[in-house]
Amino acid sequence: MIVFTLFIASFIIWQVWENQNRLYTDNLYMKRSIFTGVMFRVEFIKEANREEIELYSFVTPDTRVNRQQMHKDNQLEFSLLEDKIDLLIREERNVIFYSLILSYILSVWFILRNLIRDSSLPALAFVACIFFRFSLWHSWFKIQELLEETAYYMSRL
């Protein structure tokens, strides 16, 4: 019963986090990373001649680019920055997911450790913990790598 309750609680936490994250990231005109604070925003402004211009803003922890218009010289950097920020947001979701699964496996093992001592489940729990720990480690270093690439493309603007 406790295992089932823990599973339901971790699932609810995951769903709440995903829904809250969607409020910030499922906007086509603004995306923001939760852990690192990296974001981009697109604004549309109408000029006097009735043309709309797109103004792009990018923010990293170190630098800020405010309201620049996309043209052929910086189009590649803008699109690469948008892609890197999307990847960064996905990796942050993976970090949260792997942390929840790892804590769930460890808590289930801690609760049931006396009951499952004579079976092969402790070895399975150990393998699962190692897998999710390495996945968490990989996602965290991928975030660091994406931050470096984002800073590089920001310096090219």
pLDDT for position 23: 56
Query: Residue 41 forms beta bridges with which residues?
Result: 30, 57
Residue showing tokens 């996602």: 139
pLDDT for position 19: 66
CA distance 106 to 125: 8
Joined tokens for residue 85:
């920020």
pLDDT for position 83: 85
Inter-residue contact 70 to 78 (CB < 8 Å):
yes
What is the full per-residue pLDDT of the chain (157 aa) written as tens digits?
666 676 677 777 777 766 666 655 555 567 777 777 777 777 677 777 777 777 777 777 777 777 777 777 777 877 888 888 888 888 888 888 888 888 888 877 777 777 766 666 677 778 888 888 899 899 999 998 988 888 888 777 7
How much is the pTM? 0.71
User: So where are the chain's domains?
Assistant: 2-27+72-155
pLDDT for position 110: 78
pLDDT for position 141: 93
pLDDT for position 137: 93
pLDDT for position 28: 58
CA distance 128 to 110: 14
**Which strand ranges, in their side-by-side order, compose the sheet holding 30-32?**
30-32, 39-46, 52-59, 64-69
